[in-house]
Structure formats: C-alpha cells, structure tokens
Amino acid sequence: MGGPKMKPANFSKYLTEYLEHYLPELKNASENTLATYSDTFCYFLTYCQDVESVKIEKMSVSDLDAGLVERYLQWMETNQRNSISTRNNRLATIHSFVRYLQPREPKFLLNFQQILAIPTKKAPQKTVQPLSKESVGILLRQPDTSTLKGRRDATVLCVLYDTAARVSELCGLRIEDVRFENPPHIRITGKGMKVRTVPILPETAKNLKSYLIETHRLKPECYHMPLFLNRDGEAFTRSGIRYILNKYVRMAHEVDGSIPESLNPHRMRHTKAMHLYEAVDDLVDVRDFLGHSDIKTTSIYARSSLAKKKLAMEKISDSPVPELASWQQNKNTLEWLKNFGRKK
C-alpha cells in the first residue's frame, strides 16, 4: 500500500516561468513591470511564510486559493497600512498570474475562478492640485548651477517637468532617445513598451546638450548610455529621482510657503498636463502627450503629430524652465525574487 500522495511543489516552477519567460517574451513586459511584479510576489510569499506558516519551497499552486489571497489583502490594509491603490495593484498582479495558471493547471480552475472574482476596491478620488507656473519656476531655480551636480539636478528637473514623463520613464531614457534638431524632442518608452515622441522647450534642449557635453557623452559611442547618471555612474533609480525632486522642493518651500514641503514625481506630470490643457484646451493633444490610452473614447485613435504637439508647447506662455548658466568645461524563491530583474 502506498502512502498519501504528496502535493507537487510546483508554485516556484510556475512563478519562475511566468516572470522569466512568459511576461518578457510573450507579453513584452518592460524591466520596470517585471521588477514591480517580482516585488509583489516577494511581499506575498513573505506573508505566506511569516503569517500563514507556509513552507515556500513546498508550496503548490493548489495552495493558492481565494481565502489565502483575501487574508493577504486584508493584512496589507490592516497591518501594513497599505493604500487601496497598492492593494488593487497587488491584486491585479495576482490575477494576471492566475490567468497564466488556468490553462496549465485546469484541475484547479474553480480555485482560480474564485480568486479572479475578488474585486478591486474603489478608492476615494483625491483632487491633485497642480503647481502654478510660478511655483515650478521657483523649484527649477533651486539647484546650485555653479556645480556639476547642481547643473545635472537642474536638468533632471527640467526634463521631468517638460516631458511630463513618469518617473520610471525618466529613469529609462538613454542619450539616443534625445534629438536636438528643430524641433528638439525626446522619445519615451512608456507602459506596455509603447513609444511616444514629445517635444521639449529650447531651454530644456540647451540644458541637456550642455550637460552631455560637459560629461563628455555627446558622441556616438555613448548613445546607448543612460541619459542621466548618478554618482556611481549608473542610471538613476525611481527613489533616486524622488530624492532629487524633494531635496529641491524643500528648498523651494522655504522661498514660497505655498509650495508643499514634499512632492510625488507624478504631481509634476499632472502639473505639466494641466499647463498644457490650459494652453490648448484639447484633451486629445494632452492625452497623446502623456501617452495615455482610453478605450472608452474615440479620441484614442487620434494621434497628434510632433509639429502639432510642438505648437501646443509654444502656446504655453512664460515657460518656467530656466536656461542654465554657461557650462564649464536562485538560492531560494524569496532571494531570487528580491534580485530578479535587478542589475548586478
């Protein structure tokens, strides 16, 4: 007589295939998306291990059920004080993985369907107040442009505002994405690897060109390099950009108390969007500039030309972007998830 059948410890196997092959190869997921998804499962598996006393190395997809996911989501809100937005994002990632599992483990279809039936929560709508053009101007003038670091930081802030880029998009920019010919513009790779081209103001273009000349990187052999480098000579991380932004936001607050003491980079994106809309009164142009997709409206099919977007830029009077002064010359699943997609 045989003993009781052991459950196959296949959770790690499927998760590895999902993150290493399915998402990047079949779904064309970006590095930022892969990092976000791996973080989600790192948090989820840490909860399973520490709170549910699940041995991760022996975890099977049969252990993944609606009860476990709902307890995790409740724990996130109650114990971790995570926002509803974070809760919904983590749930969306789990839903995506479950959809991947369905055709591969159909005997657990009921479990999977019950997980997919867990709804997102509606978060109260927050009114995000944009900065005025005057406040943006004060902020952009805070870096000490007598130093290389200050000039770099000033250029980072100018590009962040001028392009309305998401912070992850800014981190991913490379020198080859910038064009200085008239009109100067930057190619941005956004969510879903969608590429859009946005014009930049002449002041921003001049600041960028000067920064690249001073760092000896305005040459073809450097075009593959990150546009902005940190002190270690590597691309900025999202936290690095947030640090730079809030360093100067605090300084700007000392100058003008109406400027908040801290700022999320997304608020700079929102600010530029509002300035554009006030100038052109055309949501289609603004949506295209930001790289938004909205299947509920027919305006998704309208794509502004670069020239049209440049005209929208030119209608913004009194640009807050300053021209800078002249430049002087797998050990285990958790460990694997923590390192997944990170540059060594």
Report pLDDT digits (tens) over 185-207.
Answer: 999 988 778 888 888 989 999 99
Which pLDDT value is given to residue 276? 79
* Catalytic status, residue 43: no
As given in the structure block, the two tokens for residue 41 are: 């499962």
Average pLDDT, the chain: 85
Which pLDDT value is given to residue 314? 67
Would the pLDDT of 239 be above 60?
yes
Lowest mean pLDDT among 38-42, 60-64, 186-190, 246-250: 186-190
Find tokens 């946005």 and name the residue: 198
Phi, psi of 230 (to 5 degrees): -85, -175
Q: What is the average per-residue pLDDT within 272-298?
A: 65
Report pLDDT digits (tens) over 296-314.
Answer: 322 332 344 455 566 666 6
Which pLDDT value is given to residue 292? 64
* Catalytic status, residue 269: yes
Exposure letters 287-304 (e unless 16+ CB within 10 A, then b): bbbbbeeeeeeeeeeeeb
**Cα angle at 20 between 33 and 22, to 5 degrees?**
80
Distance of CA 226 to CAs 32, 105, 216, 253, 305, Å?
15, 42, 13, 30, 26
* Catalytic status, residue 270: no
**Cα–chain center distance at 283:** 22
Would the pLDDT of 83 be above 50?
yes
- How much of the chain, in percent, has pLDDT values that exceed 90? 60
As given in the structure block, the two tokens for residue 186 are: 């930057």
The more confident residue out of 330 and 223 is 223
The more confident residue out of 153 and 122 is 153
Which pLDDT value is given to residue 244? 97
Q: Which of these is catalytic: 296, 301, 331, 344?
A: 301
Would the pLDDT of 330 be above 60?
no
Q: Which of these is catalytic: 266, 303, 338, 342?
A: 266
Which pLDDT value is given to residue 126? 65
Q: Classify the C-alpha dihedral 206-211-216-217 as positive or negative.
A: negative
Nearest to 201 by CA among 340, 283, 324: 324
Would the pLDDT of 316 be above 70?
no
* Catalytic status, residue 217: no
Which pLDDT value is given to residue 295? 29
Find tokens 């252990």 and name the residue: 63
The more confident residue out of 324 and 172 is 172
Which pLDDT value is given to residue 206? 93
Which pLDDT value is given to residue 300? 30
Question: CB 286: neighbour CB atoms within 10 A?
Answer: 23
Q: Which of these is catalytic: 209, 238, 292, 308?
A: 292
Q: What is the average per-residue pLDDT within 213-225?
A: 95
- How much of the chain, in percent, has pLDDT values that exceed 70? 82
pTM beyond 0.75, yes or no: no
Q: Which of these is catalytic: 166, 206, 275, 310?
A: 166
Paired sense of beta strands 178-179 and 185-189, if any: antiparallel
Q: Which of these is catalytic: 90, 253, 269, 309?
A: 269
* Catalytic status, residue 191: yes
Report pLDDT digits (tens) over 23-59.
Answer: 998 888 888 788 889 999 999 999 999 999 999 989 9
Q: Which of these is catalytic: 95, 133, 191, 250?
A: 191
